[in-house]
């Protein structure tokens, strides 16, 4: 069942798009099932839940943090996390850098942008991101690497609106790439698209889709 869902989704993804199987709230046994089918990248939205699953599951799984993070939780995932999608402040970035240094590693992150028409979704504006990237503090951070951007579209049936929001994220990506990251090959990821809207996201330039309920069922 899970294997079939994953294979269906994979068969519809272009080669440059990676699937993050969003396993939040789901038990390790289901993650194991997906893993046995070859899925190696999983997304979680709570640090302690990710850490518990990391400790009981195979060590070649790549764990992606996709949920809003409080700074005091970074320590739980810093030793192993492969990508944090949800960086929305300089303070959080400074804490990730500090914990990465403690673990003698460089942690890859994405900047999360607020593109939806909803108050409830977290994320930076373009101006806030530019201020962050121009700050003195940012220039000193040696143990983080910004690899791109992330955003969530409005939860809606209006595909024109969703498309417009994804297009906005792509244009933010282009702007930051040109201004701050033109020499950095690693700045290449656009994390957008979930179960309900990933096809539109891919048409608008997504490189990472985060899919939960279409793989594991409802939550």
Ligand X SMILES: *Cc1c(COP(=O)(O)O)cnc(C)c1O
- Residues of this chain that interact with ligand X (CB under 6 A) are 22, 24, 45, 66-67, 152, 194-196, 210-214
Which of 118, 137 has the CB closer to ligand X? Answer: 118
Residue 160: C-alpha distances to residues 149, 156, 163, 193, 197 (Å): 21, 10, 5, 14, 11
Q: Which residue is nearest to ligand X (CB)?
A: 212
Which of 62, 103 has the CB closer to ligand X? Answer: 62
Which of 155, 180 has the CB closer to ligand X? Answer: 155
Shortest Å, Cβ 15 to ligand X: 21
Which of 141, 165 has the CB closer to ligand X? Answer: 165
Shortest Å, Cβ 140 to ligand X: 29
Which of 154, 195 has the CB closer to ligand X? Answer: 195
- Residue 208's φ and ψ, nearest 5 degrees, are -135, 115
Shortest Å, Cβ 200 to ligand X: 13
Shortest Å, Cβ 132 to ligand X: 20
Separate counts of helices (H) and strands (E) for the chain? 10, 8
Shortest Å, Cβ 150 to ligand X: 8
Query: Can you list the pairs that 161-166 forms with residues at least 24 positions away whose Cβ atoms lie under 8 Å?
Result: 161/117, 162/197, 162/200, 163/200, 163/203, 163/204, 165/115, 165/116, 165/117, 166/115, 166/192, 166/193, 166/197, 166/200, 166/201, 166/204, 166/205, 166/206
């Amino acid at each position: 069942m899970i294997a079939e869902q994953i294979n269906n989704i994979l068969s519809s993804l272009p080669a440059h798009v990676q699937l993050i199987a969003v396993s939040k709230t789901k038990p390790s046994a289901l993650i194991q099932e997906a893993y046995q089918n070859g899925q190696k990248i999983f997304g979680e939205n709570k640090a302690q839940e990710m850490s518990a699953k990391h400790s009981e599951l195979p060590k070649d799984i790549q764990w992606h943090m996709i949920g809003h993070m409080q700074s005091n939780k970074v320590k739980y995932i810093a030793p192993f996390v492969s990508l944090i999608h949800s960086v929305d402040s300089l303070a959080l970035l400074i804490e990730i850098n500090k914990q990465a240094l403690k673990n003698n590693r460089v942690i890859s992150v994405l900047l999360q942008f607020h593109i939806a028409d909803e108050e409830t979704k977290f994320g930076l504006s373009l101006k806030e991101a530019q201020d962050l990237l121009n700050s003195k503090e940012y220039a000193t951070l040696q143990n983080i690497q910004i690899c791109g951007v992330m955003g969530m579209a409005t939860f809606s049936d209006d595909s024109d609106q969703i498309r417009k929001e994804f297009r906005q994220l792509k244009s933010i990506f282009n702007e930051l790439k040109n201004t701050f990251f033109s020499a950095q090959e690693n700045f290449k990821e656009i994390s957008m698209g979930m179960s309900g809207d990933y096809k539109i996201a891919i048409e608008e330039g997504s490189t990472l889709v985060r899919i939960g309920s279409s793989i594991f069922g409802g939550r």
